[in-house]
Structure 1
Amino acid sequence: MPPATATTPAPPTAGATDRPGATGAPGRAVQVTWAVATIALVAVGTVRAAGWLFALCLVAAAVTGTLAVTGGRSPLGMLVAATLPPAATVRALSWAVRGLRDTRPAGAGIGVGRILKSLAISAGLLTLFGLLFSSADAVFADLLTGLLPDISPDGVVGWLLRLALIGGGLLGAAYLVSRPPDLEGLRPGPARPAHRLEWTLPLVLLDTLFAAFVLVQLTVFFGGAGHVLRTAGLTYAEYARGGFWQLLAVTALTLLVIAVAARRAPKTTRADRLLVRALLGTLAALSLVVVASALYRMQVYADAYGATRLRLFVTTVELWLGLLFVLVGVAVVRLRAAWLPRLVVGTAVLALLGLALVNPDRLIAERNVDRYLETGRLDVSYLSGLSADAVPALTRLPEPMRVCALGQIAAELPRDGLWGTNLGRERARRDLAAIPTTTGVTDCPGTRRW
């Protein structure tokens, strides 16, 4: 009787499990989530008129779009994915040139060169017949004018720049799709555990320093800003502006310290795990008070001098960092953080979308208008530099403040065609049409901010 032989399992189908996270239901769900986030970030440009907000959303969309294509999930893989868009665009140039030179025999598929040739012929035919139809019917000519881009010198330069950016982005995306990198293979090796004293003593001293700072901040919270200003002899500007940025740096550095300590600290015994939870959990909890202190300083400053884009943005960043410390605390308690990198990027995207949802320029205008109605102080020159999103709030101002604030916005409000439709600018046009924005006012009152 022949000996029994072990059955060798069939090898997996090529491409089925080549890249963890890039295939399979869980990986696909993550990639679809990043794709939805990318679409939402790009769609902000059709809802909000604030160009600075849309620029931030485009930067974030480049990262989430890359993650949607590559499927990176590890910390190092996601970090590399954030740097891939410009690198992929550069590498895609030679790839596209090779595609243009591809001469395939009949029936072997369509090369890139043939596709571009077909597009050029189509553009020529549409231009020729479009001009003929436009000269034959005025209504059709008006419709076609709204569809075509501006052909003035400035408009041509602008459209060429847009085409270069969009084309480069699409070319880089096509390159990544055809040659997806293995980001899941970018995992750091296991770290050598440090001796207990090497990481325990620094963290104990750091926790003590944080605790001393937190005790001082509790004095601020219960005694009020006035108590601190009288004690230290500072002004509102010196108190808030002089400490906020330092606290922001402390917050970011603390996250780095926790990440390094969590990686190097030994966790083999129960005592080691308990010590990690105690020291890092205490640091995360105390850091939340530091975040609250930074937010309080910014609130004091905004109440005294008004709201601005920078102040609103850094407040949003601090709130996001506070959420990160909560997530870090959960990871420390569980001693597992494989899910944390994705939540870091995901919460950042949600914070940016939340900022777009609250309509930042309008919120800033509303805060400053309310402050003017209460105190009579207003920086008209700053408000006139906001986007069209601020128009509904600025219409609440009395004359001549309203004309001074809305005059520049109305003068710079662009005419949107089909390709530049924006809900914020459309609403601003309706509001501006109902009120006069050009009068004989030449000297607008107001005060300047730093």
Structure 2
Amino acid sequence: MPTKSKSWEEMVMDTEVDYYQATGNTDFQMQEVERQIAEEERNYQFASKRCLHDGDGHTSISDESECLMWIAKLEHLAKRISNSEQRLIKTDRRPRSTWKQVSRTYSLTPLGKAVWQLCCTGVPLIEIASPSVRYRDRHSWPTAPRAKHHDLAQTESMVTQFNPYITIMLHACQRAMPAIRHANGMVVDLSSEEVRRRVEWIARFVRRCCRSSHFRRIETNRTRLEEKNLASCCRYMAEGFQGHTRLLVLRVDLYIRPTHHTMADVRLAEKCLEHYLRDLDEGRIVPDVLRRICKRECGFDRGMHYHLLVALNGHKHQSARHLSKLLGEKWLKKRGPLRASYFNCYVRRHQYKYNALGSVHISDWQMLMGIREAIRYLVKGDGYVMTGHKRNLMRGNMKKRSGSQSKRGAPRKVGHDMILVDEILGNPRYEP
């Protein structure tokens, strides 16, 4: 009699018997592992955004992470304001010498203090890092003129694109900054009615824009596209396990060092990437490529760069470090070490337990979750992307099997079937 295959929850219980006897709750352990995998992926991405790599293998620390922190705060505050009715300024009543007269003083609420700090510190830093988002008004900082001469065609700055929440919050802070800047900078002086009016206007503007039907439609379309790309890319990776019980997963970051953050840097990087992906698909970089997903990004200091995930036939190849190095060395040859650089993500493998780097077996549910979290990051629309392209996610073509094709060979053994793959990658929104 053929043995009935176990569900993936039962497989996890078989490998973690002692733990389950102590907790008695399978869902708790599954949720805890998934939370740890997601946290490790976020830590990895945050660490990678702080590093600048060169062609000689040296790494330096960038200030880009500070700008990213303020950009994330822009989005957080925009959602916090739009989802509540909290005020930014509160009224304090303090009695004078006589009980008949009461003076009125004002102070910032905790939400108001966060917005004030953002206007005074975060927004100027973002404008310095990305001149294209500067507020162009009579109170704005001096900027270069918008010349259209031919000799300035190569110096055209890259355009920064933010998601809707960040765009609205940034615009509101920039509109209110002239009044705030005249209120002694970092000193919270709310004695002026104009300052109080402009600060409260930030909350009204954000709520009016974020609660409009047009904004909700834009945000819904953006999140729907992310979910669609997540499901599509997860199924794309799951198809790789149809004919192979083991995949070798490689991840590298490819960089083009910017000169002055102009569109010429963008065109150079795009040309190099086009030739690189063609060589990768045709097997001229590493052999037996089954799947590849590439995400285009452009940072404030790192310029145009790409995050590449490649899956090879795990039955033929096991040396992830060497093959990842081949991916990076080929990128250097495309442009030379003076402009191009790469980072081999495998060198950080020991810092993260479930990072889905190296050999991934069809029954290893933890590594499969790592693949899902890596894909979740790749399909996410970041607020600091400055590519100017509508689509920043690229993947290889999925080779579909013909329905009439005969399946040769013996059936897969228990533990080597597609149960885990279908549960984790086939349904990326699965909640254990």
Bucket of the pairwise TM-score, normalised by the shorter protein: under 0.3
Q: Which structure carries more helix by proportion?
A: 1
Q: Which has the higher contact order (CA 8 A, sep 6+)?
A: 2
Q: Which structure carries more strand by proportion?
A: 2
Greater C-alpha radius of gyration: 1
TM-score, normalization: structure 1? 0.25
TM-score, normalization: structure 2? 0.26
